[in-house]
Amino acid sequence: MYAWLYRSLPGPTPVRILLVLALLAAGFLLLMEVVFPAVESLMPYSDVAVDPVAAARTAI
């Protein structure tokens, strides 16, 4: 799949590398800004609350 993607990109090798990096950055940004916030409420660890006073006491 990755070889097919690389072969289907236009341009010489430096341009292809830049395009692959841009696609990776776009995918990462899409995951961080859209996908992960949308599924955050479905995760089992999203209902954890930390008491800052208790956490400060244990850190001393």
The answer to whether residue 58 scores a pLDDT higher than 90 is: no
Residue at token pair 């954890």: 48
The answer to whether residue 48 scores a pLDDT higher than 80 is: no
Better-scored residue on pLDDT, 26 or 55 = 26
Quick check: 19 and 6 in contact, CB under 8 A? no
- 5: which residues sit within 8 A by CB, 6+ positions away? 20
H-only helix segments in 1-60: 2-8, 13-30, 36-39, 52-59
Tell me what the mean pLDDT of segment 31-60 comes to: 76
Phi, psi dihedral angles at 9 (to 5 degrees): -75, 145
pLDDT value for 54: 65
Better-scored residue on pLDDT, 6 or 25 = 25
